[in-house]
């Protein structure tokens, strides 16, 4: 066997042991030394993810959390070398498993999404946008750093002392925004606001506000009341920074 092949074999053996020391043989290294590496590698991943998912960590408790991270550490093959992306990898792996407790996947997503927005490199300074334009006659522009979220469980309330067994009848709608100072804000919103934000993101720069509202409330029996609510919601979204401003319709004529 060539020296290169022998080295590759030793490295593979070393990596397999670090991932699964209970089932893989240890490489021919002093047990004290290999134990240092084994604990250091695993504890770094465990502690980093505990910081990304503090509520989930608290709910599961230390023993169950350690077992969960051990499974992830053993089973998952990450596709990025970047530590800030480890939470995304953990979330993807977690969603491939049964949700136990039943809110597990949604709570994990809720905890991860804050980091995801913090790392997002989108530029909120959209070109040709008037921050004080007419939200109805012109085209409202959603900030790329304002994300509408929908969950079956009230994830913003879940904690050690509140762990629902079943999802309520009504979903939970949230708006996650990053302001100019890079601070993250969560807002509880209603279904109409959520629908407005989804529509704004789906067709950026193409639809005047009043047309957007008319499409959303079409065929609703209480259309006029909904129109007034939606108009007020557009104003509130701009005040929160979720709408950057408008693009002038005449600029596209």
Per-residue pLDDT tens digits for 105-123: 999 999 999 999 999 999 8
Task: Indicate which CATH number applies to the domain containing 170.
Answer: 3.90.930.50
Q: Please tell me what DSSP assigns to residue 80.
A: -
Tens of pLDDT, residue by residue over 213-229, are: 999 999 888 999 999 99
- Candidates 201, 203, 191; CA nearest to 233 is 191
Is residue 20 scored above 80 in pLDDT?
Answer: no
pTM: 0.86
Q: Which of residues 97, 128, 161 is at a domain's end?
A: 97
In a domain, 133, yes or no: no
Residues 181, 83 within the same domain: no
Taking a C-beta distance cutoff of 8 angstroms, is the pair 245, 132 a contact? yes
Query: 210: which residues sit within 8 A by CB, 6+ positions away?
Result: 136, 137
H or E element that contains 147: strand 146-151
The residue whose two tokens read 């629908």 is 195
In a domain, 231, yes or no: yes
Residues 190, 244 within the same domain: yes
Domain that holds residue 232: 139-252
In a domain, 129, yes or no: no
Residues 51, 156 within the same domain: no
Q: Number of folded domains in the chain?
A: 2
- Please state the separation of Cα 154 from the chain's center in Å: 15
Is the backbone peptide bond immediately before 27 cis, with ω within 30 degrees of 0?
no
């Amino acid at each position: 066997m060539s020296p290169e092949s022998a080295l590759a074999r030793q490295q593979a053996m070393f990596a397999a042991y670090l991932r699964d020391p209970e089932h893989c043989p240890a490489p021919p290294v002093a047990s004290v030394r290999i134990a240092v590496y084994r604990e250091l590698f695993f504890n770094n991943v465990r502690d980093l993810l505990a910081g990304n998912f503090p509520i989930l960590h608290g709910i599961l408790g230390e023993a169950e959390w350690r077992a969960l991270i051990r499974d992830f550490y053993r089973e998952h093959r990450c596709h990025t070398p970047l530590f800030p992306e480890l939470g995304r990898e953990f979330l993807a792996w977690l969603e491939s498993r049964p949700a136990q407790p039943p809110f597990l996947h949604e709570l994990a997503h809720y905890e991860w999404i804050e980091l995801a927005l913090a790392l997002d490199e989108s530029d909120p300074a959209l070109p040709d946008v008037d921050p004080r334009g007419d939200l109805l006659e012109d085209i409202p522009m959603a900030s790329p750093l304002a994300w509408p979220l929908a969950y079956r469980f009230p994830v913003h309330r879940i904690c050690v002392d509140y762990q629902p067994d079943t999802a309520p009848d009504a979903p939970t709608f949230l708006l996650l925004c990053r302001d100019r100072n890079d601070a993250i804000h969560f807002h509880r919103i209603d279904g109409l606001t959520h629908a407005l934000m989804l529509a704004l993101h789906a067709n950026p720069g193409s639809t005047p506000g009043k047309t957007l509202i008319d499409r959303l409330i079409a065929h609703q029996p209480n259309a006029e009341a909904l129109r007034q609510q939606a108009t007020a919601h557009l104003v509130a979204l701009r005040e929160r920074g979720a709408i950057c401003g408008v693009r002038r319709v005449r600029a596209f004529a």
